[in-house]
Structure 1
C-alpha cells in the first residue's frame, strides 16, 4: 500500500495503534500526475492536501509585470505539496502547483481531513510538527534572502536540499533563489573549471 511511506513519515513523530492505522488508511486516495500536469491552479480552491510518494512538483506564482514564473517551493518524495492558506480557509489559491516529472501523491480532501483529525486526535500533533518545520524553513529563506548574497544562498540550497538538486532543473533553482540561470552557471564554472 502506498500509504506505507506516509505512515513511516508519521511514525517519526507519533505512534498510531493498529486500529488508528486502519482508520487512517481509509481516508487517502492516490493520484498520478504526468510531467506538466497541474495539482493546483491559481484561482482554484485547494481542496486536497497532498503527500508526495514519488516524483517532483514546483509551486510558482506568475509575476504580473515580467510574466516570469517565481518559484515558491519544491516538493519531492516524502514532502507535502499544498497551498496551506487556500486549503485551511477553503479560499482561492494565489499560486500554481505543477509536476516537474511524473509524480504520485496521496491526497485527502478538506472535509475528510477535518474528520480524520477528530477520529485520530494525535494526528493534530503530527501536522503541527510538520507545519512548524515548514514555517522554520520559510523563516530561514526570508532571512537568508535579506542577509546573504546569491552565491551563499546557492551553496546553502545545495547542502540543505540535495534530493531536490538531483531532480530539479537549474533554471528552476535559479528562480527559487531569485537569480538568473546564467548566474548559477557562472558560479558552477568558477568552482569547477575544466
Structure 2
C-alpha cells in the first residue's frame, strides 16, 4: 500500500502501535498528477498536506517584474510538497506547485490533519521534526545565497541533492540557485575539461 512508504518515513522519528497505524492510514487519500498538472495554483488555498510517494514537483512563483519563473523548492520521493503558510492558516497561496513528471501523492485535508494530531499525539513530534529539517534547509539556503558565489552554491546543490540534480533540467536548478543556465553550462564544460 502507498501509505507504507509514509509509515516507514514516520517510523524514523516516532513509533506507532498497530492500532495507531490503522487509524493513521484511514486519514489519507491518494492523488496522481500527470506531468504538467498543478497541485496548487497561486491564489488558491492549500487544502491538503501532500506526501510525495513517487515523482517530482516544483514549487515556484512568477516574478512580477520580469515574468520569470522563480523556483522555491523541489519535492521528490519521500518528501513533502505543501504551502505551509497557506495550509496552516487556510489562506490563499502566493505560489504554484506543479508536477515535472507523473507524481503519486498521499494527501490529508486541513481538518482531518487537525483530528489526526488529536487522535495520535506523538505525530506532533514527527511533524515538528520535519518542520525543523525544512527550516534548517531554508536557513542554509539563505546563508549560502548571501555569502557564497554561484559556483559554490551550484556544487553544494549537486552534493546535497544528487537525486534532484539527476532529474531536474539545468535551467530549473539555475532558477532555484538564482543564477543563469548559461553559467551552469560554463561550469559543467569547465569541469569536464579539468
Once the two structures are TM-superposed, the CA of residue 166 in structure 1 deviates from its matched residue by 1.3
* Aligned equivalent of 1:52: 52
* Aligned equivalent of 2:104: 104
Query: What is the total number of aligned residue pairs between the two structures?
Result: 194
* Aligned equivalent of 1:138: 138
Map 1:86-125; keep pairs closer than 5 Å: 86-125=86-125
Once the two structures are TM-superposed, the CA of residue 193 in structure 1 deviates from its matched residue by 2.3
Q: Distance in 2 between matches of 1:83 and 1:183?
A: 30
Which SS does the other structure have where 1:61 is aligned?
A: strand
Structure 1 runs of 4+ aligned residues shifted over 3 Å read: none
Which SS does the other structure have where 1:107 is aligned?
A: strand
Ranges in structure 2 where 5+ consecutive residues have no aligned partner: none
* Aligned equivalent of 2:38: 38
* Aligned equivalent of 1:83: 83
What's the TM-score once normalised by structure 2's chain length?
0.99
Q: CA RMSD in A?
A: 0.7
Q: Distance in 2 between matches of 1:31 and 1:170?
A: 28
Q: Distance in 2 between matches of 1:25 and 1:114?
A: 15
* Aligned equivalent of 1:175: 175
* Aligned equivalent of 2:155: 155
Map 1:63-74; keep pairs closer than 5 Å: 63-74=63-74
